């Protein structure tokens, strides 16, 4: 039985009416379950017997209502029994989905969720300018949760709804990688944004530029503890990575230029980059530095971010190693991800090679000329 949403439990008490059906002469039971009127034929021609059946039916409905699982109870069991064995990233996304759903829909009972609630949830996310990919991800996590509850008979059934269709993605990157000249402008802008600890942030930006690490990985990177460590004492400097995004533990060589930077670090314990903030705040500060340097990396006016520095790393190394080796450097599970989002040969470099003989220009001169032309068009 589905309850009338928004009402307290005591207001959902079924009131069963005993009505004689004139055509048959028998009594029928009628009640409203919160959604619509229900009816049950008793087969009794005696009102007393029909009223006895009505009392039994009302007790049955009240017992079913009392056994209904609250939304908070479902969440607690889902976290304890299902999410506990999954990865930290999946758990974090599920929790974020649940909290957002609670904020928008405010469910009270687990079995009151229907397709209308999910449609309203998706519409609210779109009004917040969330991408269709994000909306789809949230709905997928809710569907997994509700299907799990239905499989354990915690709810009668999982509501049926369609996920938004994924848009056909363009093969180009969402934003272009910054050039070396633009990165140098970022370093020059650091004292404007971080006047009290500029040296620390210059070191951090240089580390992002040379390592290609994701933002959260750079914050976790440690000398001697945790799931993402560096080892410079070995014959080949490498990362020691456990519980990573690809679900594998592995050793991965560090690029020579980043290893040379690490050799200059004075402290070799704890976190490699000793920033005074966490991942989210570090990302905001990097974007603020990119804004101060006035570096725009797409047609929508987006300023350079930490992930764009990772793109620049992939661009540089795509010209030096094979796609398979680049996939390993970027730690992608699929080569398609590497090819689709990161491999972007620098136009100025390629043009410099092709046009090196025109007008007696060297490759570097031709590349510099094209760089200047691109800068003017921006």
Say how far apart CA 29 and CA 377 lie, in whole Å. 78
For residues 196 and 133, which has the higher predicted lDDT (pLDDT)?
196
Task: Name the β-bridge partners of 39.
Answer: 30
pLDDT at 224: 87
For residues 336 and 14, which has the higher predicted lDDT (pLDDT)?
336
pLDDT at 374: 47
Based on the fold, state whether residues 184 and 313 are members of the same structural domain.
yes
pLDDT at 343: 52
pLDDT higher than threshold 60 for residue 344: no
By the 8 A CB rule, do 134 and 122 touch?
A: no
Rg (CA), the chain: 31
Based on the fold, state whether residues 94 and 218 are members of the same structural domain.
no
Domain that holds residue 120: 71-151
> Rounded to whole angstroms, what are the CA distances from 92 to 79, 113, 168, 184, 351?
11, 22, 27, 35, 45
pLDDT higher than threshold 60 for residue 188: yes
Say how far apart CA 367 and CA 352 lie, in whole Å. 4
Say how far apart CA 17 and CA 29 lie, in whole Å. 6
The string of DSSP codes covering 159-170 is PP-PPPPPPPPP
- Burial class for 58, CB neighbours closer than 10 Å (0-12, 13-18, 19+): middle
Q: How confident is the model at residue 309 (pLDDT cuts 50, 70, 90)?
A: very high
pLDDT at 183: 94
Based on the fold, state whether residues 266 and 297 are members of the same structural domain.
yes
- Burial class for 124, CB neighbours closer than 10 Å (0-12, 13-18, 19+): middle
In a domain, 364, yes or no: no
For residues 250 and 200, which has the higher predicted lDDT (pLDDT)?
200
Based on the fold, state whether residues 60 and 99 are members of the same structural domain.
no
- CATH number, domain of 91, equals 1.10.150
Both tokens of 220, joined, read 């976790």
Final residue in a domain of this structure, among 151, 172, 205: 151
pLDDT at 6: 45
Query: Mean pLDDT throughout 339-346?
Result: 57
pLDDT digits (tens, 9 = 90+) for 201-253: 999 999 999 999 989 889 989 998 888 899 888 888 888 887 655 556 778 88
Query: Mean pLDDT throughout 81-96?
Result: 82
By the 8 A CB rule, do 124 and 139 touch?
A: no
pLDDT higher than threshold 50 for residue 348: yes
Q: In what order do the strands lie in the sheet with 27-32?
A: 17-20, 27-32, 37-41
Say how far apart CA 291 and CA 293 lie, in whole Å. 5
Both tokens of 10, joined, read 């005591």
By the 8 A CB rule, do 222 and 215 touch?
A: no
Both tokens of 311, joined, read 């793109």
Query: Mean pLDDT throughout 286-308?
Result: 91
**Average pLDDT value over all residues in the chain:** 80
In a domain, 120, yes or no: yes
In a domain, 369, yes or no: no
User: Can you tell me whether residue 178 is helix, strand or coil?
Assistant: coil
By the 8 A CB rule, do 57 and 40 touch?
A: yes
Which of the residue ranges 145-149, 200-204, 343-347, 365-369 would you say has the lowest mean pLDDT? 365-369
For residues 361 and 40, which has the higher predicted lDDT (pLDDT)?
40
pLDDT at 243: 62
In a domain, 341, yes or no: yes
pLDDT digits (tens, 9 = 90+) for 117-129: 999 999 999 898 8
pLDDT at 30: 83
In a domain, 171, yes or no: no
For residues 291 and 324, which has the higher predicted lDDT (pLDDT)?
291
Q: How confident is the model at residue 69 (pLDDT cuts 50, 70, 90)?
A: confident
pLDDT at 370: 45
pLDDT at 353: 63
pLDDT at 10: 41
- CATH number, domain of 233, equals 1.10.443.10
Both tokens of 110, joined, read 């687990």
Q: How many domains does the chain have?
A: 3
Number of other residues whose CB lies within 10 A of the CB of residue 298:
14
Based on the fold, state whether residues 123 and 32 are members of the same structural domain.
no
CA nearest neighbour of 141 among 190, 176, 210, 90: 90
pLDDT higher than threshold 60 for residue 269: yes
Q: Which spans in the chain are helix H?
A: 47-66, 71-81, 88-105, 115-127, 132-151, 180-193, 198-211, 215-220, 256-263, 279-292, 306-318, 323-330, 335-341, 347-354, 363-377
CA nearest neighbour of 29 among 2, 61, 5, 7: 61
In a domain, 371, yes or no: no
Final residue in a domain of this structure, among 104, 134, 151: 151
Based on the fold, state whether residues 84 and 217 are members of the same structural domain.
no
pLDDT at 355: 62
The answer to pTM > 0.85 is no
pLDDT digits (tens, 9 = 90+) for 146-180: 999 888 888 888 888 888 776 555 445 677 889 99
In a domain, 160, yes or no: no
In a domain, 58, yes or no: yes
pLDDT higher than threshold 70 for residue 357: no
């Amino acid at each position: 039985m589905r309850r009338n949403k928004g009402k307290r439990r005591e207001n959902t008490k079924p009131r069963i009416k005993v009505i004689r059906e004139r055509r048959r002469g028998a009594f029928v039971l009628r009640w409203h379950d919160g959604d619509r009127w229900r009816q049950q034929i008793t087969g009794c021609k005696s009102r007393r017997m029909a009223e006895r059946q009505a009392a039994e039916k009302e007790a049955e409905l009240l017992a079913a209502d009392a056994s209904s699982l609250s939304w908070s109870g479902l969440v607690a069991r889902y976290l304890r029994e299902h999410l506990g064995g999954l990865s930290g990233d999946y758990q974090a996304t599920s929790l974020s989905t649940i909290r957002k759903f609670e904020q928008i829909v405010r469910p009270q009972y687990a079995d009151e969720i229907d397709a209308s609630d999910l449609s309203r949830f998706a519409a609210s996310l779109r009004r917040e300018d969330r991408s269709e990919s994000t909306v789809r991800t949230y709905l997928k996590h809710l569907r997994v949760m509700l299907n799990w509850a239905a499989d354990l008979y915690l709810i009668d059934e999982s509501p049926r709804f369609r996920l938004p269709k994924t848009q056909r993605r363009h093969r180009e990157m969402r934003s272009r990688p910054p050039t070396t000249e633009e990165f140098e402008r970022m370093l020059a802008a650091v004292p404007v944004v971080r006047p009290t600890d500029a040296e620390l942030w210059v070191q951090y930006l240089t580390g992002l530029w040379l390592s290609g690490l994701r933002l959260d990985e750079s914050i976790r990177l440690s000398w001697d503890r945790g799931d993402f460590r560096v080892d410079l004492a070995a014959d080949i400097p490498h990362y020691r990575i456990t519980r990573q995004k690809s679900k594998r533990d592995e050793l991965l060589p560090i690029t020579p230029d980043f290893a040379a930077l690490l050799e200059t670090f004075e402290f070799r314990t704890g976190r490699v980059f000793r920033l005074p903030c966490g991942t989210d705040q570090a990302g905001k500060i990097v974007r603020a530095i990119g804004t101060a340097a006035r570096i725009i990396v797409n047609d929508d006016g987006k300023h350079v971010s930490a992930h764009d520095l990772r793109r620049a790393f992939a661009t540089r190394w795509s010209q030096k190693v094979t796609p398979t080796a680049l996939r390993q450097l970027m730690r992608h599970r699929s080569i398609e991800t590497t090819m689709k989002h990161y491999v972007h040969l620098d136009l100025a470099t390629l043009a410099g090679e092709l046009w090196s003989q025109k007008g007696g220009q060297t490759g570097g001169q031709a590349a510099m000329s094209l760089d200047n032309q691109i800068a003017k068009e921006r």
